[in-house]
Amino acid sequence: MLSTTLTDDDISRLRFDETEYSEHKFVSCDEVLADVSYHPALRTAVADLKALVAWRSLQRAVHSECNGDAVYRAALELVHAADRSVLEAATRSNQPRS
């Protein structure tokens, strides 16, 4: 999965080929995770991405020698994101094969 951060200006300049895409929208990671209508593989990838972002946040907190509260909050965020990632993978592995 590839990801990038877009600014409002970036989004305003995006153009989609209407012959290829009948619709498009931007949704947050949390919206994807909360909506079971999204494909399980996408939901798992989004959960993994959130865990990676949380891991990088914890790394920055530790390496910047910030106070213990900041490290604690970053660690807590990582644990919650990793829990969600594991849950998504477990849910996906229990889905019937089609």
In the prediction, which pLDDT does 52 show?
86
Q: Which residues contact 91 (CB under 8 A, 6 or more apart)?
A: 40
Minimal CA–CA distance to 43: which of 54, 32, 30?
32
Instruction: Per-residue pLDDT tens, the chain, 98 aa: give them.
Output: 678 888 999 999 999 898 998 888 888 899 999 999 999 999 989 988 988 888 888 888 777 866 778 888 888 888 887 777 665 665 656 655 55
In the prediction, which pLDDT does 90 show?
59
User: Where are the domains positioned within the chain?
Assistant: 25-93
Q: Which two tokens stand for residue 49?
A: 């991405």
User: Which residue has 């590839």 as its token pair?
Assistant: 2
Question: What letters, b where the CB count within 10 A reaches 16 and e where it falls short, cover 60-69?
Answer: ebeeeeeeee
